[in-house]
Amino acid sequence: MVVEDDPSISQLVASYLEREGFLVDVAGDGETAVELTRSWRPDVVVLDLMLPGMDGIEVCRQIRTFSDAYVVMLTARIEEIDRLIGLSVGADDYIGKPFSPRELVARIRAMLRRPHAADPGIEPIRRFGALQIDPVAREVLLDGELVELTRTEFDLLEGLSAHPRRVFARRLLLEDVWGGDWFGDDHVVEVHVANLRRKLGDDPQAPRYIRTIRGVGYRMGAG
């Protein structure tokens, strides 16, 4: 799903994706994007931040209430706050305009290559105190209650929990979750880890689940 109010840009992006074998639909405003995402259920939403009526932030927020599609935000505004807000409402990646359609396609392909399920019967349920992670069902329970995570948030948590107490550098997490051919800064990892902590009720100053190793990265486990 390509959501862009500039027809020249939406058609350019759609044509590149179609040449790569993707089935593409286009929406020119936020309300239409939410309706089509609900009915069409795309795997990836390429979402412009500045849209008429409902902006991209609100579109992403609404989509996240019923869809786990990957969301890539596009915007001509490159301020840091725009990126942080976009990622905080559930976007998986962020590309500033002007952008290369080839780069966009490469990032989408890297997203879709991420494994979304383990082989049944191989991965046991992982428990960290009140936190329970099921890699096969891709479910997370906290105190017995289901925690709603985006695909990227789950992939990060799954990667960290697979090797408790191992320290993961930010760049390694980028390669594991976003793919080895992903290019961009590692700040995106920090934002998604912050989102994870918020949903898990994890205080960075006294972490129960995800600990920051200063100057290196993150590891699973407190203390």
Residue 85 lies in a domain: yes
Mean pLDDT, residues 122-151: 86
CATH code: domain of residue 183: 1.10.10.10
- Which domain range does residue 28 map to? 2-112
Residue 134 lies in a domain: yes
Q: Are residues 6 and 108 in the same domain?
A: yes
Residue 119 lies in a domain: no
Query: What local confidence, expressed as pLDDT, does residue 184 receive?
Result: 59
Q: Are residues 7 and 92 in the same domain?
A: yes
Q: Are residues 91 and 136 in the same domain?
A: no
* Percent of residues in the chain assigned helix, strand, coil, to nearest 5: 40, 20, 40
Q: Are residues 137 and 103 in the same domain?
A: no
- pLDDT for 40-99, tens place per residue? 899 999 999 889 889 999 999 999 888 889 999 888 766 666 667 777 788 888 888 888
Give the whole-angstrom CA distance, residue 213 versus residue 217. 5
Residue 117 lies in a domain: no
- Among 112, 137, 159, the domain boundary falls at 112
Question: Is residue 37 predicted with pLDDT exceeding 90?
Answer: yes
Give the whole-angstrom CA distance, residue 159 versus residue 161. 6
CATH code: domain of residue 24: 3.40.50.2300
Q: Are residues 10 and 100 in the same domain?
A: yes
* Percentage of the chain lying above the pLDDT 70 cut: 87
* DSSP H helical ranges for 26-174: 30-40, 56-63, 80-88, 101-112, 151-162, 170-173
19 touches 25 (CB < 8 A): no
Query: Distances from the Cα of 113 to the Cαs of 75, 177, 190, in angstroms?
Result: 25, 9, 22
- Among 54, 83, 112, the domain boundary falls at 112
Residue 147 lies in a domain: yes
Order the strands of the 131-134 sheet from edge to edge: 126-128, 131-134, 139-142, 145-146
pTM: 0.61
